Each structure stands twice: as structure tokens, then as C-alpha cells.
């Protein structure tokens, strides 16, 4: 995970794409695995041999680890306004809904909507887990 975090940091802050082996020195320093306190340190980062799908995976992992993207499931009563109420709560938190998946219940089952997957992007780290989701 440290290497993925280092790659994401390089992409976000330096606009550099570095392969995993090339990001290892930075990952070691950032994770505290190397004692560099009080020393002048240079991390040599090299190589751009990284698959595009792997880059997407690293970005996704990094956003989830930093609580900037979450995925959650909810059950809503099957009545008008239930979904609107949930969306209002999310909008008040400045959350951006990326996708919604809805699954219909079996005939004769309780009249609720089963869990729906909701990948969402949060604008700030402070939106780690709202109290109503715990």
C-alpha cells in the first residue's frame, strides 16, 4: 500500500508517472521505514513502465484510502420520497454521487429496496464516515 500511495502522491503533486519499483524509495521514506530525520536525502525515482489499468487501480485505492471515495449500501422503504431524502442528505454534505445500482426485491418479500451500491466522491477528507452510516 505504501508504494501505491507514493505513486498516487507523485501523480497528484508532481504530475509524474513512476513505475512501482521506481517509487519504492519515496514509499520507504514516507512510511518511516527509513530513518531520514536530520539527514539530507535524495530519492531516485525512475521508470515509467506501468500499465494504464494498473494506474487506474492505484488511483482508486488511493482515493478510497484517503476517504475521498466511498462505496456504501443502503436499504430504503419502497415509497415515494425515500430516495429523495437520502440524496438530500448526501447533497448537504457536498457529496458527488458517481453511480447508483438498484436491485428489486423478490415478490412477497418485505417492501424495502435491498442494498444499493453507491460509489461516491467526497470533496474533503473530513467526510470519512458520517454518523448516520456507522
43-74 pLDDT tens trace: 998 888 888 888 888 888 888 877 888 888 88
Rounded CA separation 53/91 (Å)? 31
| pLDDT of 91 strictly over 60 | yes
**117 or 42, greater pLDDT:** 42
Whole-model pTM above 0.85? no
Rounded CA separation 102/121 (Å)? 19
Rounded CA separation 2/37 (Å)? 19
The pLDDT of 109-122, averaged and rounded, is 55
| pLDDT of 126 strictly over 80 | no
Amino acid at each position: 500500500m505504501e508504494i501505491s500511495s507514493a505513486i498516487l502522491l507523485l501523480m497528484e503533486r508532481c504530475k509524474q508517472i513512476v513505475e512501482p519499483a521506481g517509487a519504492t524509495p519515496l514509499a520507504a521514506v514516507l512510511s518511516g521505514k527509513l530513518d531520514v530525520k536530520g539527514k539530507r536525502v535524495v530519492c531516485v525515482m525512475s521508470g515509467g513502465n506501468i500499465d494504464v489499468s494498473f494506474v487506474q487501480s492505484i488511483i482508486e485505492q488511493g482515493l478510497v484510502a484517503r476517504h475521498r471515495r466511498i462505496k456504501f449500501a443502503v436499504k430504503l422503504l419502497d415509497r415515494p420520497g425515500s430516495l429523495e431524502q437520502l440524496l438530500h442528505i448526501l447533497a448537504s454534505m457536498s457529496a458527488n454521487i458517481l453511480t447508483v445500482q438498484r436491485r428489486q426485491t423478490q415478490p412477497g418479500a418485505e417492501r424495502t429496496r435491498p442494498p444499493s451500491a453507491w460509489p461516491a466522491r467526497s470533496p474533503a477528507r473530513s467526510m470519512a464516515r458520517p454518523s448516520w452510516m456507522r
